[in-house]
Homo-oligomer: A and B are copies of this chain.
Amino acid sequence: MEFKFDDRGLLTAVVQDATTNEVLMVAWMNAEAVRLTRQTGEVWFWSRSRNELWRKGATSGNIMRVHELRLDCNGDTLLLKVDPAGPACHTGERSCFFNVLT
């Protein structure tokens, strides 16, 4: 199974709590972020706004240990099951998906 990076060289990455199965956040990974994540066992992303590699939790301390990595059927999206050290969201919420639409 091969990675299919998009025209920006990125995969979509969905992060799910390995214990609760809560979806925590969605971000982006380039080839180097995938390599670092697999090598270190901690989650790395590519920041589209800052245009740089981003070790999740480098500033906040809320790193994410990778429990399992899955690739979807067409190879352009990763599912990362993780053990988070703290809130995933920069707002302090456990998940970035705290806004329920009605």
Closest to A6 in B: B48
Shortest distance between the CB of A16 and any CB in chain B (Å): 6
Number of copies: 2
A72 partner residues in chain B, CB cutoff 8 A? 25-26, 96-97, 99
With contacts A68-B100, A73-B89, A73-B98 known, what are 4 further pairs, Cβ within 8 A? A16-B23, A69-B100, A72-B99, A74-B96
Q: B-contacting residues of A (Cβ < 8 Å)?
A: 1, 12, 14, 16, 20-23, 25-26, 38, 68-74, 77, 79, 89-91, 93, 96-101
Jot down 10 A-B pairs with beta carbons below 8 A, ordered by A.
A12-B26, A21-B21, A26-B77, A38-B101, A68-B100, A69-B101, A72-B97, A73-B91, A73-B93, A73-B98
